[in-house]
Amino acid sequence: MYRIGVDLGGTNIAVGVVDENMKIIGRGKVKTRCPRPAAEIFDDIALAVEMAVKDAGVSMDDVISVGVGTPGSVNKSNGYIEFANNLDFNQVPAKEMLEERIGKPVYLDNDANCAALGEAVAGVGNGVKDFVAITLGTGVGSGIIIDGKIVVGANYCAGEMGHMVISVDGIPCNCGRKGCWEQYSSATALISQTKEAMKNNPDSLMWQMTGGIDNVSGRTAFDAMRQGDKAATEVVDKYIYYLSIGISNVINALQPEIICIGGGVSHEGDYLLKPLQKYVEDQRYSIYSSKQTQIVAAQLGNDAGIFGAALLDE
């Protein structure tokens, strides 16, 4: 028997048929084309599910359930997507609407939670019970797995660690607070920090590498740092220091076995992880413990959400 995982994103709807060995044996993908009515998006989820099942060479009779990872907040008690700003969803009865279209039990959760569960079970976590996933993208996404279960909280909105404050009265955040972690440690923040350093250092190699401010990416400072550029080295060091503050807070609060770092910045590998680990070693409260949290790069990439969604069962 098989499970289906759906990763509902703002750009694409990606679907995978997952077998008992945690392998994706069939895929379907369509554009989300949001914002548009939920009914139309759910029609396309059903279409992508049909495509994936056909690609896998199985039938819906062989499918146990369909899990959906979605942006925003999900009320798992009634199956509503309560709010998802980039989908323009507000109090959408997603479980009911999707089960009408697909004809199978449908389970829903936040997309970051699904990615965390996928990495914990099928990826770098290798089945550990206590696991945290951090994704460095437009913001700082996060998901918490404790005793093998997603932590959702009393209102199903737990795990928004990107919005813990690491600098009191710091950079304003679009959540309404100031000094949130994601304003310092997201890929967006890294790009802003790089641009600021370039403005202050007109002789930096970063100008030659990019051809101008408009072409800066999350890789720019790391690439220039590897070539010995002083301004870029300072950007990378400060960025990793900011990242370590949040990571240390997570370790001190939860003491997970593993924290995995995902998103494009994680592709820097040891250039990111080694200095990050050193900063965390100096900050964590558990400095003398014999067992320490491992900090590793995510393994599954864009498939993490599919695996995690397929594993949803409540």
pLDDT score at 16:
98
- Tell me the C-alpha distance between 159 and 299, whole Å: 20
pLDDT score at 88:
87
Are residues 200 and 262 located together in one domain of the fold?
yes
- Tell me the C-alpha distance between 38 and 48, whole Å: 15
Are residues 18 and 109 located together in one domain of the fold?
yes
Q: What angle do CA 199, 245, 158 make, to 5 degrees?
A: 110
Are residues 139 and 157 located together in one domain of the fold?
yes
Maximum distance among all alpha carbons in the chain? 64
Are residues 214 and 294 located together in one domain of the fold?
yes
The torsion region of residue 57 among left (phi > 0), alpha (psi -120 to 50) and beta comes to left
Are residues 87 and 227 located together in one domain of the fold?
no
pLDDT score at 172:
95
- Tell me the C-alpha distance between 284 and 298, whole Å: 21
CATH of residue 44's domain is: 3.30.420.40
Are residues 168 and 214 located together in one domain of the fold?
yes
Concatenated DSSP letters for 165-188?
BSSTT-SB-TTS-BSBTHHHHSHH
Task: Give residues with Cβ within 8 angstroms of 75, minimum separation 6.
Answer: 82, 156
- Tell me the C-alpha distance between 205 and 199, whole Å: 12
Are residues 50 and 157 located together in one domain of the fold?
no
Q: Nearest Cα to 65, choosing from 106, 118, 103?
A: 106
Are residues 173 and 290 located together in one domain of the fold?
yes
pLDDT score at 234:
98
Are residues 57 and 198 located together in one domain of the fold?
no
Report strand pairing: 80-84 vs 24-31. Answer: unpaired
User: Helix, strand, or coil here: 125?
Assistant: coil
Are residues 207 and 90 located together in one domain of the fold?
no
Domain count, the chain: 2
Are residues 113 and 131 located together in one domain of the fold?
no
Are residues 104 and 243 located together in one domain of the fold?
no
User: Helix, strand, or coil here: 126?
Assistant: coil
Which helix (H) or strand (E) segment holds residue 25: the answer is strand 24-31
- Provide the residue range defining the domain that includes 280: 127-298
Q: What is the DSSP letter of 159?
A: -
pLDDT 10s digit of each residue in the chain, 314 long? Answer: 999 999 998 889 999 999 999 999 999 999 999 889 999 999 999 999 999 999 999 999 999 999 999 988 899 889 999 988 778 899 999 999 999 999 999 999 999 899 999 999 999 998 899 999 999 988 898 999 999 999 988 888 888 899 999 999 999 998 899 999 999 999 999 999 999 999 999 999 999 999 999 999 999 999 999 999 999 999 999 999 999 999 999 999 999 999 999 988 999 999 999 999 999 999 988 888 889 999 999 999 889 999 999 999 87
